[in-house]
């Protein structure tokens, strides 16, 4: 017992922030992550106040032989931000966002959430293309790629990452940019948390908002195949400024949904317009195309809304504590066999919380050269599919896991390779990491050998260093 107290006290003496041990009040809250299916008991949680605290925590872990888990937003479904007996380096307090509207640059702390970043940048009508859930961490999302509503228009989050402050495994603090450690910057742009702890990101910004156009067209499960065929016709005609996604979901219990349709399962085609002062100018022709073709939606909801509201629309549906198991894959398009699988498997889902999310990846996403970043997904036009099983309780987890695995297996014959968007990889997907990076894997492993030769940072979609 004395050794444990001294061990904890050593780190507390070195840090400005707080250290939470298993016997401390608040330990259960400190160890929680977003995915309620992940229940781990770390040895310590180091709630860092600044980069010096992060250095102290890394050094302490090295001296004490402790495994490190890095916690940004703690939103990763695989639960990489925690672990039994590990030292959790918690960056939640390192969340400052500083915006230079003239240079269109933002410096974002490694513990910031998307809602923090969006609020600060939207004060100037600017944004970082990023994800779609406000309580997602900027760090984890960015390091894996960063998909969202602006991907077709402006590319991935990593396409706007121009610099980073990084704490390395040996405790050094370096800056990665085009001029300093450019190999490290390349690796950070899609290579995940393999190379160090990013305590600050520097992004270039794009103009968007403050209002965007939101259009949701909701179809019954029985009309799923027809709605998907309609989407197949619409996608090639989309203006470059329009975001478009396909979501299998239950209609939300929201005022804009007719009462008799609330919580009814179905398919949504979602259209986002982003053209300046008239955000519906590019979206309205797409709305008309959907209305004029294919099945009749059960309801539609089209309205302008603040960009920040769009970015947080899913916050409640994907609230903390959801028990999540997911799989992802890339598809070349919505060919008839793929549509048949999607429609059939969605009709078989068990939990009303579960969903399927199809991202359309083309436009600005595909303009970036394949080798410009470490991003694992190819840059050719494609679809990214997330099959997300969300169980309401512990008893429901096995059924959702089985549904996700069956769904993913049924799509496998039609996917682009066997890899996936690395942010969707679960703990049982370790064998898919190499396939997800393809030809970039060996280059990443060589960079890993330079910056983390002992694989200290391995609680991620891990790329072991070349020996």
Mean pLDDT of 215-244: 97
Assign a CATH topology to domain 211-429. Answer: Vanillyl-alcohol Oxidase; Chain A, domain 3 (3.40.462)
Dihedral sign, Cα of residue 393, residue 396, residue 401, residue 407? negative
Q: Can you give the pLDDT at residue 275?
A: 85
Give yes or no for residue 277 having a pLDDT over 90: no
Q: Give pLDDT tens digits for 5-36.
A: 457 899 999 999 999 999 999 999 999 999 99
The answer to whether residue 395 scores a pLDDT higher than 70 is yes
Q: Encoding tokens for residue 266?
A: 């179905």
Q: What is the pLDDT of residue 294?
A: 81
pLDDT in tens, 279-305: 788 999 999 999 998 899 999 999 999
Q: Judge whether 259 and 192 are in contact, CB under 8 Å.
A: no
Residue 165: its H or E element: strand 161-167
Q: pLDDT-derived band of residue 1, with 50, 70 and 90 as boundaries?
A: very low
Question: Per-residue pLDDT tens for 155-168?
Answer: 999 999 999 999 99
The CATH code of domain 2-90 reads 3.30.43.10
How far apart, in whole angstroms, are the C-alpha atoms of residue 324 and residue 69? 20
pLDDT recorded at residue 6: 55
What residues does CATH 3.40.462.20 cover in the chain? 211-429
98 pLDDT more than 90: yes
Domain span(s) for CATH 3.30.43.10 in the chain: 2-90
Assigned CATH class of 97-208? alpha beta
Exposure of 201 by Cβ count < 10 A (0-12 exposed, 13-18 middle, 19+ buried)?
buried
Q: How far apart are the C-alpha atoms of 75 and 81, rounded to whole Å? A: 8
Give the H or E element holding residue 5. helix 2-14
pLDDT at 303: 95
DSSP code per residue over 331-365: ES---HHHHHHHHHHHHT---TT-EEEEEEE-THH
Tens digit of pLDDT for each residue in 137-152? 999 999 999 999 999 9
**In this predicted model, which residue has the larger pLDDT, 3 or 124?**
124
Q: Is 49 exposed, middle or buried (0-12, 13-18, 19+ CB in 10 A)?
A: middle
Q: Where in the chain is the domain with CATH 3.30.465.10?
A: 97-208
């Amino acid at each position: 017992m004395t050794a444990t107290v001294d061990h904890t006290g050593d780190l507390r003496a070195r840090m400005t922030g707080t250290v939470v041990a298993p016997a401390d009040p608040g330990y259960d809250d400190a160890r929680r992550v977003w995915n309620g299916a992940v229940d781990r008991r770390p040895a310590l949680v180091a709630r860092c106040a600044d980069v010096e605290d992060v250095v102290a925590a890394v050094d302490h872990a090295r001296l004490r032989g402790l495994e490190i888990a890095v916690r940004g937003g703690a939103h990763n479904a695989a639960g990489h931000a925690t672990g039994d007996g590990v030292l959790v380096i918690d960056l939640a307090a390192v969340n400052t966002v500083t915006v230079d509207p003239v240079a269109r640059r933002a410096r974002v702390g490694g513990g910031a959430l998307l809602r923090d970043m969006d609020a600060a940048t939207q004060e100037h009508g600017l944004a970082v293309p990023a994800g779609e859930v406000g309580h997602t961490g900027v760090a984890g999302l960015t390091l894996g790629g960063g998909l969202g509503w602006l991907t077709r228009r402006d590319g991935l989050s990593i396409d706007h990452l121009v610099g980073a402050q990084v704490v390395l495994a040996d405790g050094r603090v370096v800056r990665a940019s085009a001029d300093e450690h450019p190999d490290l910057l390349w690796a950070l742009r899609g290579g995940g948390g393999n190379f160090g702890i990013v305590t600050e990101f520097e992004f270039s910004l794009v103009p968007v908002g403050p209002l965007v156009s939101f259009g949701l067209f909701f179809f019954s499960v029985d009309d799923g195949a027809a709605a998907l065929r309609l989407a197949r016709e619409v996608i090639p005609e989309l203006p470059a400024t329009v975001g478009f996604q396909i979501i299998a979901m239950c209609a939300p219990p929201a005022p804009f949904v007719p009462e008799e349709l609330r919580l009814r399962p179905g398919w949504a085609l979602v259209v986002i317009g982003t053209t300046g002062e008239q955000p519906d100018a590019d979206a309205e022709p797409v709305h008309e195309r959907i209305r004029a073709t294919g099945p009749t939606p059960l309801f539609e909801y089209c309205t302008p809304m603040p960009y920040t509201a769009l970015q947080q629309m899913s916050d409640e549906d994907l609230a903390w504590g959801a028990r999540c198991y997911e799989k992802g894959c890339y598809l070349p398009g919505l060919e008839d066999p793929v549509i048949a699988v999607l429609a059939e498997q969605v009709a078989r889902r068990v939990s009303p919380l579960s969903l399927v999310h199809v991202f359309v990846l083309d436009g600005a996403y595909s303009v970036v050269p394949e080798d410009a970043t470490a991003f694992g997904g190819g840059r050719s036009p494609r679809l990214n599919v997330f099959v997300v099983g969300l169980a309401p309780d512990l008893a429901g987890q096995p059924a959702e896991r089985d549904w996700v695995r069956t769904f993913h297996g049924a799509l496998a014959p039609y996917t682009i390779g066997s890899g996936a968007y690395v942010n969707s990889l679960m703990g049982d997907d370790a064998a898919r990491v190499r396939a997800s990076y393809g030809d970039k894997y060996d280059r990443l492993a060589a960079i890993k050998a330079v910056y983390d030769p002992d694989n200290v940072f391995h609680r991620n979609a891990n790329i072991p260093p070349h020996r």
